Structure 1
Amino acid sequence: MSKLIVYNASAGSGKTYTLAREYILQIIRRPMEYRAILAVTFTNKATEEMKTRIIEELHALAKYRRGEGREPNYLSVLVDMLKGEQGQQQTLWDDDSARIEYEKEVSRRAQLVLTSILHDYSNFAISTIDKFFQKVVRNFVRELNIQPGYALELDSDRVLSLAVDKVLENLHEDEQLQRWLFDLVEERLNEGDSWELSGILTDLGQQLMREDFRQQPESFFEKIGNKEFLDGYYRKLVAKSKEAEQEYKETGASAVRYLENNGIKLEDIPGGSRSFATIFFKAMEGVVPSSYKSATDALNNPDKWMGKSKPKMTDAVYSQLNPLLGKILDYIERERNTYAVAIKNFRTLGVLADIDRQVRELASEDNLLLISDTNHIINKLIEGSDAPFIYEKMGNRFGSYLIDEFQDTSKQQYANFKPLLENSIGEGGYAMVVGDVKQNIYRWRNGDWRTLGISVIEDFKPEKISLDTNFRSKRNVVEFNNAVFPIMATALQDKMAAEGIDNNEIGKVYEDVSQNVLNVESKRGGYIHIEKVNGDSVLPDGSANELNSSERAQLVMQKLVERISELQDVQRYNPSDIAVLVRRQSEGQMVAEALLEARNASEPERANRFSFISQGALYLSSSNAVNLIVSILRLSINPADAISAALVSYIEKLEKDLPIAHGYFENAVSERVTALIDRIANLPLPEAVECIISEYRLNEIVDELPFIGGFADVVLGFATQKVSDATSFVEWWDERGLRTELYLPNQEEAITIMTVHKSKGLQYKVVLIPFFNWDYEPATGSRKTTLWVDGEPVAIDGDKLEAIPVEYGSSLKKSAFAKEANEEQQQSYIDNINLAYVALTRAEQELYLYIPLRVNRKEHIGTLLFDAAVSIPSATIVEPAEGEEPSIITFGEKGSGAGASVKENRGNTLSLTTYRIGKPLSKIKQSYSTTLAEGSGNLKKGLLMHRLFSLINTQDDVDSALDALVEEGLMVVDEQESIKKQVLGKLANPTIAEWFSGKHAIVAEGDIILPGEEYRVRRPDRVMMGNNETVVVDFKFGEVEDPKHRYQVFGYINTLRKMGYPNVKGYIWYFDHDGVVELD
């Protein structure tokens, strides 16, 4: 039995290098077993990067010859591996000639596996977690009662939005739901939050995507779907809460009566009118005191009750009243809040059930599988089953596993992977996971650092290897992070301990934070600048002039622009060396606007200094041109839409530099728009948009071209849906399209703006973080944190829910759910210090942190870091003005980049220079149809039938394939039925039926690239791969047998055999003559 290997890979420690090395070691050891190795990454980008890296490394190894260029990566370790393999069988040679032979063997194996992978690329199994599990689901549609032909819905928010609309649409039919929603709205109004009903339901519906909700048993969903049960349970909770309050009053009254009956007044008690005993009188009146520390100190402590000068306070008084004090404190600190927090969100359960039902109905109607359900479905599938057999049924039995970013796997994902790892290890396979608990920043997507930090350690007792050398950053940056994060982690741990929460998980996460640095010249130096941004001042009259949060943000933007100018003008960094990291998209937009403003204010030859690329900082809806197009579409739906008409008029006047805005808009706009609406009335949506672009000559506005191109892509994507008219598009645009990002291609010289989450795995010479001031406490108020807790503490008369939603806050910490509240607090601390760790470890050479102080002076991640940095001996604290606290700390000396201080402007930030208006689709179809009609009948039929069969995998696909041809304009509806009968009749032939049985993996009209100096391609009509056999078929429509057909298929057979496919057989199918010719 082998052993699981866990690589703990801190930031910049060569994780990708290690993953690629281990993968290449496995495939060089056994070149033909690459199909049995699964490598799992976290993102599509990481998947492509890993595939590219492995192919490039294999290519370098395959082409390497001693003395011809640089030695490839991994060559030495591969040579050592081969020596180790042969060490049992022969004497090891230590001379150079022996090494050359080993190098040749590595090269030979690399060439073999490279060729195999390139000719069998679909089995080059490097995948994201989601895609791997989706593949599992596809192989079990029958067992899971999923309809064949389902579509995977990646955008769960879209379905949720539609479900919310359905709930509101049917609201008049459900009085109970109306009452619950009315209560929710009233509660939001009382709290000063948004009470817009659709928004409330959408926020609530996000709970449906959480693992801790989806993993509840069926009995839970049955109960919350029963409104009668929920309403009755809710009334019991309210009654129980009132009963507990009444008992609280009576307990206070009992204590007061005892004091009165025994002639004891407050002045007879230590502390007098300020003593703990005042709580008895407040309890009797039903008042909960805001402060009661003296009472908690007195509980179970006789010394607090008695004194030499207080003879009336005896042991008898203590023994009578101390239990009553305990009951009162229990109500205040636990019982009262337990019912209050349960009642507060209880009504949302019924609303959630309705939203969930609508989500399921929509998914069923449209045959969708939500990506958020995938992990749960597989978890249920393997529960109590032979998990290795289930995975084996997929047709790809993996024996080795390499899993990246393991700290971001969820509990369910880990549960789904665990049997695979166990099976691999049990059969002597290779299994490794790589991750870093300090870089777990996706808890909001169900990521759980404890899968790597705790679960996998306890379950597998693995071999642990730490990658503890930082290859990314300069010495000062590494040593700063080594010093500051243990201090921050300890501070947070101490904060929890001060609240009586005893847990060391934060310390556990950061116990291995310290890294080594390469002792080479290129890694010396590094610079860190930390600055608190306040901006407050004292006015001449002595009063304070305090900036609000918006003014402080603008001050930060001013400092940011100045710093970016200095980095380029003085320190000679290029724009592409610089990244600005933000916590939220709104901050990224602020940065983008500041850089655009600085760019516009610069001289043309220096404007390139502020060019930038960003994901999330620019939206299509920020474009005047896009808003003009959408407004015209709105007017085409409702010509009386005054707001859209006004917007069109405004934009027309705004764009005065356009040729179309030279004087005739003010009086002609309504007529022009009316005429345009008439022209686009019957056009498909993409053509209507192109018509608007052409009419207003928007394709001539260079700065708008990326927005127009992006918008056109969105429109085309939307047009592939079942309903794609202007009305549907505008509704979608209002719901989601407004938030569609503008994606720009990477530019050679541009500053990067991105969120910290998206920066994970990346690195830049200089990193600036302008808003290093996010909270580390769990969100409360309008951005509340909802927890799902066990409903046992509020079970009443046998009624119980397996889970109930409660809101994090001070009340929760003083309830029966205090343990869950404390756990959430700790996990929030870990989330946010981890986010800081990811942000600070992106920098290679220089790091600039700006900490805008809060108006309320509330502590946050920035103040935590600043306080930690001050205590580091190597810190340089810039001397503050007299009477002020230090606000700037630096480490090391500023360095320099390798580029010119200012490069000449080689183009706009948005560098497109043209947008071509396409020929209308209707004319293209007409032209194509004419060409097809003018061709011979056999040619037309051949084109149609080849296209049709390229869309058919099994007989069940015939209808959808015919529909596709109609949609593509290649066939009219009247032809469908006759062609369908003809096709199904042909498929009745047993030999042909086998080809379309669904038992084979299918490649339809796939290209086979042949090796050799010339680029040659073979394209058989259908290649099928099954159990130890390969079948290639070529279709002939309207043709008679011809010897050249046989030569053609023999060519396919020989090519596939050379590629290593087993037992290749070929067929020619003469469709019209029912002839099948077998070739072997």
Structure 2
Amino acid sequence: MFTTYSASAGSGKTFSLVVDYLTICFKNLCPRTSHDKHPSASSREEFRKILAMTFTNNAALEMKKRILDVLNEFAFTPTDQRLPEFNDYYEKIVKKVFGEDADEHDPSLREKICHAARLQLQTILYDYDRFSVTTIDKFYQKVIRSSALRLGLNLNYSVEIDLGEFYQLVVDKVMDDLKKGDPLTDRLLKALSQDMDVSGKSDIQQFLLDTLDLLYKNAEDNYQFLKRLRKLDNQAFEDHIKEWQKDVYETIPDAASKKKTLTAELLQLLEEKTGEPKDGVNQNVYKAVGKWVANPKLFISAENAESNYKNVCKLVNGAYLNKNKHLDPATEAEILKKAQDLQVWMNDELKRYFNELLVLKYANKLLIIFDIQQRMDDLKALRGLFFLSEANIILHENLSALPPGVSPEIYEKQGFHYFFLDEFQDTSLMQWHNIKPLIENNAIAGRGDAFLFGDVKQAIYHWRNGDAEILHDLSSYPTQNQHGHGFPTLAEDNYHMVPLQTNFRSQEAVIKFNNEFFKVWAKELGFHDQYKDVEQLVPDKEDKHGGLVQTYLHGEDPVTKDSVKSLPDSFSKLKEFVENNDPLNAKHFQILYAVQDALNRGYACKDILLLFRRNDFLSEVAQLLINYGMRVETKKSLSLDQAPEVMAILETLRLLLNPHDRLVQAKIIHALSQIMDIGDAYTNWILKLQDDDSDNFSLFIEEHFGQPLALNEWRKEPLFITILNIIKTYRLDEMGSPFLNDFLDFVLNYLANRKDDVEDLLNRWDYLKKSKKIPSVQSFAKQDAITLMTIHGSKGMQHPVVIYPIKQERAQEIGFWTIDPTDNSTAEEERRIAYVKSGEKSFSFSDLKDDHLQKKQEVKNDALNVAYVAHTRAVDLLYLIIEAKENPKGTDHISVLQNFVLHAKTKSGDPFFTKDDDIPHHFYAGDETWTKPKKEEKDKEKTVAKMVTPAMGISDFSLQELVMPEMIPADDPRSIGTKVHDFLSRFSAFPQSEEEAKEVEQTIPEEIRPYVMNFFRQILQDEELKRFFGPEAKVYNEVSILLPDGNTRRPDRVSMLEDKVRVYDYKTGHDDADYQKQLDEYCQLIREMGYEDVQGRLLFVI
């Protein structure tokens, strides 16, 4: 059976996928009769035959997690204690496994499902690497690695995804190879000279990087062109480009002369035979021909050439001459003959000129493309590299050579019978052609089923070769097979189409708005067919008939403090912010207004998601929110290297390489103390690592984990097994950490692409960290912070509140490989190829105009789909913020939305949006009084930070200073500062007089005595400090503030007196903005615990 799910946003796609996946498992595991109570080992392993693939790592992680969650719930949670969503899974699976008549309340069926779930969960966890829920790219890597020899690849190759590092290495190699008189140098200088002629500037580094992009970016989409390009050698291609240049420069004088002759002859004839324009001839003839003759330059724009050509065509067609009834046939024929001569010349010669200008613009980069390709090939061979972008091409070349119906040998050894393809709208044509034979041959053999899940409206990866047309065709197959994407060898009854049209995610107001808005926009753009199923149903549930959509139309003028005086008291914080930042950017104000409005409606910061198309705008708004006093969460804040559990694993791997490295040992203790809240880690463990003969690290491990680290045994194990052993030893598996789950996925991905080597893994991690490319956790929402992310990054997610500030996107130049329109060779395979990239106007009068228009439509389709993804992430509240246009006539997001807000009607004829009477240019659709739905109260302590038992912990001074003092001179301020800090942390109450200070003086170590005494005097001279450092204050030294996400913050001293809280941090050196930022964070965290009068102060001990 071949089943296609057409799954719009929020319609239960993942639910259906998990149901079908587990149905296959349970049909083999659940006993069919009372005598069959013990499933065979082979039935437990049916999951090995299932291949579930998706497009992104995020989606693969979600799929894998959901399958395991459902299994775990079925196996260990009683039915009456399950969350409703898991009971929905149970009911659906029971019907699919035991038949539609099965009673889901039957205790015997519950027992069977429970037993099967336990067996399946146990088997998957035991054989986790055969749990094939992955991305398409990773599957292809696995196939290629298992058939490397047959495919002619180095058996020890490494897969590289990020080409940036290797781009730079190739550029460096080209620069090193430049020598005077060398052919490479001559070619590069020629190319740079041409680049200067075209663009007016030239940067050699950027020039080379751009040339590399032509080779390796979208290599799959440009496969046929690049394949033909690689057949040429350097000299042949240089001759190729010289011919282009010659054509253009020879065309110019001839064309200019011809243009002048033809236009002058036509204009003279018109004047002689029809008289002056005032005598009745249409004046557009003179505008079309006369003005052109007056312009001595040929280099008019393609756009003007197109306009002139249209007017000449009208003249040829008689549109103008028909108004001159007195013209005799001979005169009219003579005029038409001259006009036709001009028309033919423009269509043939002038259009050829503009073709050549387009081709020549990027020809300079092609001049050295072979030099660059050769150096990249040398680098790949030297390092044993294989680029991920080449995987599809290698498989395609191997599979396309097979006769139809022949089973690919490279697939047979994989052993898969069932196939799940999620996010199928983002699958490329080459990917589909590569996987199609495996599915088709398996279906013909009757060994299993295939399931496709996708939504053409959410196809947002066209720029990475995604082709939603495949899903569009398969969704209506076999009645339509316009592009041959289906399976002509399969019987029609093998196809099953399942539309999922109910949106279980969003509230009614959000659903209805998106239904109507995207129906209108898709029609205006000409994408009605792709959006014919855009209308989603509202679920028949009482809690889904609410929600609110708000649209803010702002102008260019900034917001001033006078303009916000009328805002209600609930916006007092915003009014104060405007007063302090007068005037405030209008878009910034509307973003803050939306955030504050959501908070006023009862939502927490963690409920709010802001979406962006570009990272630069995201960063700008993140800083705005921080200035407004909000905590924000971005991809950077969720980086895996921020997690202490990941640090503990990595540092333990480093310990395998150097078991006596005290800095590594200290980092492990530090990481584990953060996880386990070991308050005495610094004083009892890390500080003692300074002793050369100390075995403190081993004692720490044994005391807290009951066994030593089995370093010798771990060195003999495969890398992944070693990491699992580390996790088990430190009991990290008990944390349920999303950072840990994603780190394991990172390691598995690394092992699929590179060698099984600890040192290489660590080097790779260090490189990614240095280049700021450490992966981020894909699913984490415990911290009460506003989330900011790009729309592409939000795929598959949902949030109670979505705020989308929409910016007008600048028109981008569109580039593509094509057959050279200036080459008139009769044999198609002999025609030159070219790369063209320019703005729309440059294509106006060229043979590539239609190709460009097609690419432009693809860009518009992407923009429509990206907006659809953004709008449909919202559950309850959707805020759309745009800068209003004076005359919104375009088909862009802002113009269509503005017109929709101002003019759209409901089916009953009422305005779809209601104008907010209190706030100018604010409109809403839905329940204006909407507030966050009340839900059952859960442990409130989990939503805020809390202070835990104060204990001595690790200070802000680095671990290197603590465990390697010999590397720091004794008189270095860092060393002295550490000791002063540690001494002060012992005091709850400080001396309250000079006499008391003198009494303490003799107990102070001599090397830090002057610094401590100066600090005492600093306290005594400040009345407030004296009170909060006195005996009446309740003091927490080195208190740990436990964050909701499990991380901690540790101010040096928190003093409480009456209803006041003072936070102090000891520092050395000079004031620093980062110090104050850290202190402000401590204070804010304590305010969130319910304390009102909280202030912080930095105290410099040296």
The separation in 2 between residues aligned to 1:868 and 1:96, in whole angstroms, is: 47
Instruction: Deviation per CA, 1:661-698: give whole Å up to 9, x if none.
Output: xxxxxxxxxxxxxxxxxxxxxxxxxxxxxxxxxxxxxx
What is the aligned partner in structure 1 of residue 340 from structure 2? 323
- The answer to whether the Cα contact below 8 Å between 1:62 and 1:111 also exists between their aligned partners in 2 is yes
Name the CA distance, whole Å, in 1 between partners of 2:314 and 2:505. 58
Corresponding residue of 2:784: 749
**Structure 2 SS opposite 1:228:** helix
- Does 2:147 correspond to 1:140? yes
Give 1:771's aligned amino acid: I
Distance 2:272 2:885 in 1: 50
Normalising by the residue count of structure 1, what TM-score does the alignment of the two structures yield? 0.64
- The answer (yes or no) to whether the contact 1:786–1:805 under 8 Å persists in 2 is yes
Distance 2:274 2:185 in 1: 51
- Please name the residue that 1:74 is paired with: 89
- 1:917-947 deviation line (CA, Å, top 9, x unaligned): 55799999xxxxxxxxxxxxxxxxxxxxxxx
Report if the CA contact (8 A) 2:559-2:585 is conserved: no
Counterpart residue number, 1:346: 363
Give the alignment partner of residue 503 of structure 2, picking from 448, 464, 470.
470
Structure 2 distance, partners of 1:787, 1:106, is: 54
Mapping of residues 85-484 of structure 1, within 5 Å: 99-172=106-179, 177-178=184-185, 181-182=188-189, 185=192, 195-207=202-214, 208-212=216-220, 215-216=223-224, 220-223=228-231, 226-245=233-252, 246-247=254-255, 249-250=257-258, 252-254=260-262, 256-257=264-265, 264=272, 267=275, 270-271=281-282, 274=286, 276-278=288-290, 281=293, 286=298, 288=300, 290=304, 291-292=307-308, 295-306=311-322, 307-310=324-327, 314-331=331-348, 334-385=351-402, 389-390=407-408, 395-428=413-446, 429-454=448-473, 457=477, 458=481, 459-460=485-486, 462-484=495-517
Over residues 54-97 of structure 1, what are the superposed CA-to-partner deviations in whole Å (9 max), with x where a residue is unaligned?
A: 22322333457777767734333333334449xxxxxx8x8899
Conservation of the 8 A alpha-carbon contact between 1:787 and 1:808? no
After superposition, what is the alpha-carbon deviation per residue over 1:704-749, rounded to whole angstroms, capped at 9, x for unaligned? xx9xxx9xx99xx999888999xx999x899x73677887975431
Deviations 1:538-569 (A, max 9, x none): 99xxxxxxxxxx9999332233224323322x
3-state DSSP class of the match of 2:931? Answer: coil
Aligned-residue identity in percent? 24
Contact 2:140-2:391 at 8 Å conserved across structures: yes
Match of 1:513 in 2: 534
1:118-140 deviations in Å (ceiling 9; x for gaps)? 33222222111111000011011
Equivalent residue for 2:945? Answer: 906
Distance 1:217-1:75 versus aligned 2 partners, 3 A rule? same
Instruction: Specify which of 845, 848, 851 is matched with residue 879 of structure 2.
Output: 848
**Residues 812 and 175 from structure 1, CA distance in 2 versus in 1: closer, same or farther, beyond 3 angstroms?**
farther
Q: Contact 1:41–1:128 (CA<8 Å) still a contact in 2?
A: yes
1:488 aligns with 2:521: yes
State which of 872, 897, 900 in structure 2 corresponds to 1:868.
Answer: 900
Could you tell me whether the CA contact under 8 Å between 1:236 and 1:796 is conserved in 2? no
Partner of 1:1058: none
Q: What value does the CA root-mean-square deviation take over the aligned residues? A: 4.5
Aligned to 2:615, which of 585, 595, 607?
A: 585
Q: Secondary structure at the match of 1:563?
A: helix
1:914-1063 equivalences in 2 (<5 Å):
917=958
1:53–1:104 CA distance, 2 compared to 1 (3 A): same
Q: Is the 1:266–1:275 Cα contact (8 Å) retained in structure 2?
A: no
> Any idea what the Cα deviations from partners look like across 1:982-1034, whole Å, max 9, x if unmatched?
xxxxxxxxxxxxxxxxxxxxxxxxxxxxxxxxxxxxxxxxxxxxxxxxxxxxx
Residue 11 (structure 2) aligns with = 13
Q: How does 1:503-902 map to 2 (within 5 A)?
A: 506-536=527-557, 554-568=585-599, 570-599=600-629, 610-615=630-635, 737=771, 746-775=781-810, 777=811, 779-780=812-813, 785-791=814-820, 793-795=822-824, 800-852=831-883, 860-873=892-905, 874-878=911-915, 888=923, 890-897=925-932, 898=934
Please tell me the residue identity of whatever aligns with 1:770: P
Q: Secondary structure at the match of 1:72?
A: helix
Look up the match of 1:55: 68
SS in 2 for 1:586: helix
Contact 2:888–2:898 under 8 Å retained in 1: no
Could you tell me how far apart the structure 1 residues matched to 2:441 and 2:583 are?
57
Report the alpha carbon displacement of residue 579 of structure 1 after superposing the two structures with TM: 0.7
Deviation at 1:414, TM superposition (A): 1.1
Superposition deviation, residue 6 in structure 1: 1.1
Q: CA deviation at 1:421?
A: 1.7
Gaps of 5+ in 1: 86-91, 494-505, 540-549, 600-609, 623-705, 925-1080
Which is further off, 753-762 or 185-194?
Answer: 185-194
* Cα distance change, pair 266–364 in 1 and its aligned pair in 2 (3 A): farther
Cα distance in 2, alignment partners of residues 846 and 835 from structure 1: 19
Stretch of structure 1 that moved more, 278-287 or 117-126: 278-287
SS in 2 for 1:825: helix
1:35/1:125 contact within 8 Å kept:
yes
Q: CA deviation at 1:401?
A: 0.4
* Partner Cα separation in structure 2 for residue 133 and residue 46 of structure 1: 17
C-alpha deviation, 1:575, in angstroms: 1.0
Cα distance 1:316–1:51, how it changes in 2: closer, same or farther (>3 A)? closer
The answer on whether the counterparts of 2:5 and 2:454 sit within 8 Å (CA) in structure 1 is yes
Aligned partner letter, 1:535 = E
Q: Once the 2 structures are TM-superposed, how far is the Cα of residue 381 of structure 1 from its aligned partner?
A: 1.7
Q: Distance in 2 between matches of 1:172 and 1:276?
A: 53
Superposed CA offset, 1:789-815 (max 9, x none)? 123553469863245344353222421
What is the TM-score of this pair, normalised by structure 2? 0.63
Tell me if structure 1 keeps the 8 A contact 2:608–2:799. Answer: yes
Quote the Cα distance in structure 1 between the aligned partners of 2:263 and 2:449: 70
The 1:905/1:519 distance shift into structure 2, 3 A limit, reads closer
Residues 223, 121 of structure 1: CA spacing in aligned structure 2 closer, same or farther, 3 A cutoff? Answer: closer
**Structure 2 match to 1:36:** 49
Contact map agreement 2:256 2:297 (CA 8 A) in 1: no
Q: Which residue of 1 aligns with 2:700?
A: none
Contact 2:309 2:346 (C-alpha < 8 Å) held by counterparts: no
Letter in 2 for 1:464: M
C-alpha distance 179-44 of structure 1, shift in aligned 2 (>3 A): same
- Write the letter of the residue equivalent to 1:737: S
Equivalent pairs counted in the alignment come to 775
CA distance in 1, matches of 2:835, 2:199: 24
2:661 alignment counterpart: none
Shift of 1:330: 1.2
* C-alpha deviation, 1:833, in angstroms: 0.9
Task: Tell me, yes or no, if the aligned pair for 2:421 and 2:451 is still in contact at 8 Å.
Answer: yes
- 8 A contact 1:553–1:852 mirrored in 2: no
Task: Say if 1:821 and 1:566 are closer, same or farther in 2 by CA, change over 3 A.
Answer: same
1:598 Cα deviation after fit: 1.6
Contact preservation (8 Å) 2:606, 2:786: yes
Relative distance call for 1:484 and 1:890 in structure 2 (3 A) is: same
Alpha carbons 1:472, 1:844 under 8 Å: kept: yes
- Aligned-partner Cα distance in 1 for 2:146–2:332: 75
Contact 1:391–1:397 at 8 Å: present in 2 too? no
- 1:420 Cα deviation from its structure 2 partner: 1.4
Contact kept in structure 2, 1:403 and 1:432, CA below 8 Å:
yes
